[in-house]
Amino acid sequence: GSRGVDESSVKGIAKLEDEASFWREVVHNGSGPGNAGGKAEFLQGKVNELIKELGGDETIEDMTEKLGQEINDILESIWSLDDVDARGASYPQPRMDRLLRMVGDSLTLFLQSKFDQTGLWQTPFQQAERDLRNAIELCKNWERVAGNLTSRKATHKGPQWQGDAFIDERMKRLTKRLEEISDLRKTQDALQGLLSPEEQRGLQLDHLFSSFAGEHALHVNAASNSTWAGAISQYEASMGPTEDQIVNKLRAEFVSNLIPSVGAVVESGKVGSESSTQPYQLLQNFSKYSFLLSRPKIS
């Protein structure tokens, strides 16, 4: 019977489907402590809801929104067991910790699938920037949801989380990788805006990002980290001649366009007039390249 089931043991529970199977087995074994008040049926249903919510084909933005609403509500109801009519019914913390990790893994798979469809390097910059920004927001939203659920100041009706709040280290590493990719794409876009087609060809700009082409950049684990680091090193080495060219171009932009234009406006004393439009526009254009100034050799 279900009396022999150790609910705090998560051995063999690697994905959400395993968790649903665990509670299905408890239900199958009949009544007992594990199914008091219909607890096992309730949990089996809730985990299946989680699987359904995380397995949809929505946009990254929609998933981020769902994370703060439906998925958050399901997790709260699992942890609190408010809807289970059994005194002392609880969901063991080691089990909740594993459940949260598996949700994080499902979100990672969701993002990997999205970027496998669109590509990280060939997608037009505006779309890539938007997708990456949304993906980073999704990761951070998950950190907030999981952190709120397990913090000492949690406002839900569930039990007090013991010890430190849950931190999804794998999701943190994925967030960092997404931010690195976003920086790379911004650099690529800024270079294409700053350098003429001829200069781009001369510096083989098309090949600059080729070291990332075969990378599964969102597969963040020990095995792939070394190949990613290698691709970054290759990219940095290739950037050498490009950076020299950038320094010259930015200097020329400053000297020939921006400084004289701003100086002329200041001298005329018409900062508020229409004549201030030109330097403002130049500053707007220049801000596009400001991202390059964060590179050590250029700054």
Closest to 134 (Cα-Cα) out of 105, 106, 114 = 114
181 found inside a domain:
no
254 found inside a domain:
yes
Burial class of residue 246 in the structure, from the number of CB atoms within 10 Å of its CB (0-12 exposed, 13-18 middle, 19+ buried): buried
Poorest-confidence range of 120-124, 152-156, 228-232? 152-156
276 found inside a domain:
yes
- The pLDDT of residue 260 is 67
**Residue 275 structural domain:** 244-294
Q: Which residues contact 31 (CB under 8 A, 6 or more apart)?
A: 2
253 found inside a domain:
yes
Q: What is the pLDDT of residues 40-63, one digit of tens each?
A: 999 999 999 999 999 988 999 999
The count of structural domains within the chain is: 1
Whether the CA torsion 243, 249, 252, 258 is positive or negative: it is: negative
118 found inside a domain:
no
Q: What pTM did the predictor assign?
A: 0.83
282 found inside a domain:
yes
Closest to 116 (Cα-Cα) out of 183, 223, 216 = 216
Calculate what percentage of the chain has a pLDDT beyond 70.
79
5 found inside a domain:
no
88 found inside a domain:
no
Q: Which two tokens stand for residue 20?
A: 């649903």
Q: What is the pLDDT of residues 75-104, one digit of tens each?
A: 999 998 887 866 667 899 999 999 999 999
